[in-house]
Homo-oligomer: A and B are copies of this chain.
Amino acid sequence: MQSVEELLGRARAAQRRLALAPAETRSAALRALASTLAASTASVLAANAADLAEADGLSAAMRDRLTLTPGRVAAMVKACEALAAAEDPLAEERPLGQRPNGLRVSKRRIPLGTLAVIYEARPNVTVEAAALAIRSGNAIVLRGGREALGSNVALGRVVRAALVAAGLDPDAVVVIEDTDRQRVVELLGATGKVDLVIPRGGPKLMALVDAHARVPVIRHGAGVCHVYLDRAALVARAVAITVNAKAHRPGVCNAAETLLVHRALLPEGLVAVARALVDAGVTLRVDPAAGEALRAAGVPTAPAVDSDWDTEYLDLVMAVRVVDGLDDALAHIAAHGTEHSASIVTEDRDAAERFIASVDASCVLHNASTRFNDGGELGLGAEIGISTSRMHAYGPMGVRELTTEKFVVRGDGQVRS
């Protein structure tokens, strides 16, 4: 059996792919889930019957919740079909308007990341929660109760088969088969690996969760921010944006730390940018390809070591790496970025949109300095910080991000039937 940590690592990688999959692929997975589940009704009911046969000392209500019937399986199938046809939440981009300097600011909806649901008895939660996660591009870790383990494992297999059928990575949905309470404690402690825990259950389960939970934290994390100069970058823009992102105020979190340069910009483009940085007082720590081009042009450099790619210098120092293209740049940012800010400089609209869609950072910029990831600059007014936690606030938090919403329902005597 794999450790929770291993499962979470694979779930995170699978989530990145799920989040970037087209809406139609996630819909296809949900349709496959509906049809596979319908076709598996007999085996799922058999697993459930075995759970029921082994269940001792359950209250009548718990027993009822644990019980699957053909009707309840059909209801799960219907829920998956409804989600397959539902609007894609990740399609939403909400314009916040244009700033006086011409920047166009918007917010794009993204998944939270990896969810963990902790629940009891009701095996239908396994399918419904997994389907919600697939629709919303989240990985999900399902930790049900011991009494429902056989049912949950059977349903988990169905969900994972549906993901595979749609060409997605099945590790985005994990059924934890170890029902030791210690696994719940581990999930609650897996900060950075799990983004949100959703417990659903009776007083005993809630007491366990409450004993090990802490107040939610929205981190104002470090910024290892990136500027990527694409093949189609205008050199003058690349110079201005890179120098501003690095040297305007090097001690703050939205200052850039790493410059990624498309190989096609070598040597002239790279040399122009590097020279401007050096003129602004910046020390360059460069990979071999950049070092060779810059030495030939007489620009002073120092060699980068591995730790440079993960360092928030907060100083007039910049790491420089040559990449083979957009994919290479995206892979570098995914590996070394701190989900803070990243900017692409390019005249290629398609490359820019792919960068915007792919980079997981609180603020993704096109042809603008990373220094604009700031509440005042983005039009929020005063900010309490820049969230690097993927909670309701990601990026600058203004007064609105310190609030939530309650539901208000106005009727004229309606009752539920």
Interface residues on chain A, size class = 35 or more
> How far is A404 from B404 in the complex, measured between Cα atoms in Å?
13
Name the contact of A196 in the complex, choosing from B93, B133, B215, B361 (C-beta under 8 A): B215
Q: Determine whether A272 belongs to the interface, using a CB cutoff of 8 Å to chain B.
A: no
Chain B residues with Cβ below 8 Å from A213 are 191, 214, 217
Chain B residues with Cβ below 8 Å from A111 are 402-404
Partner-contacting stretch, out of A44-52, A152-160, A203-211, A295-303: A203-211
Chain B residues with Cβ below 8 Å from A234 are 413
Chain B residues with Cβ below 8 Å from A135 are 399
Number of chain copies forming the complex: 2
Chain B residues with Cβ below 8 Å from A356 are 408
> How far is A373 from B212 in the complex, measured between Cα atoms in Å?
28
Q: What's the least CB distance linking A127 to chain B, in Å?
A: 10
Decide yes or no: A108 and B406 within 8 Å by CB, A132-B399, A414-B103 being known contacts: yes
> How far is A186 from B191 in the complex, measured between Cα atoms in Å?
18
Name the contact of A406 in the complex, choosing from B107, B117, B377, B411 (C-beta under 8 A): B107
If over half of A's interface residues share one DSSP class (helix, strand or loop), that class is named, otherwise mixed; here it is mixed
Q: Determine whether A71 belongs to the interface, using a CB cutoff of 8 Å to chain B.
A: no
Binding site for B on A (CB under 8 A): 61, 79, 82-83, 86, 89-90, 93-94, 101-112, 115-117, 128-129, 131-133, 135-138, 187-191, 194-201, 203, 206, 209-210, 212-222, 234, 236-237, 240-241, 243-245, 248, 251, 314, 352, 356, 360-369, 371-373, 377-378, 381-385, 389-400, 402-416
> How far is A106 from B164 in the complex, measured between Cα atoms in Å?
39
Additional A-B contacts beyond A82-B381, A191-B213 (14; CB < 8 A): A94-B405, A102-B414, A105-B408, A109-B403, A132-B384, A196-B216, A197-B215, A198-B217, A213-B217, A241-B415, A362-B407, A364-B409, A393-B404, A394-B407
> How far is A37 from B244 in the complex, measured between Cα atoms in Å?
34
10 inter-chain pairs at a CB distance below 8 angstroms, sorted by A residue, are A82-B382, A86-B381, A103-B410, A103-B414, A107-B406, A196-B216, A197-B218, A365-B411, A366-B409, A378-B409
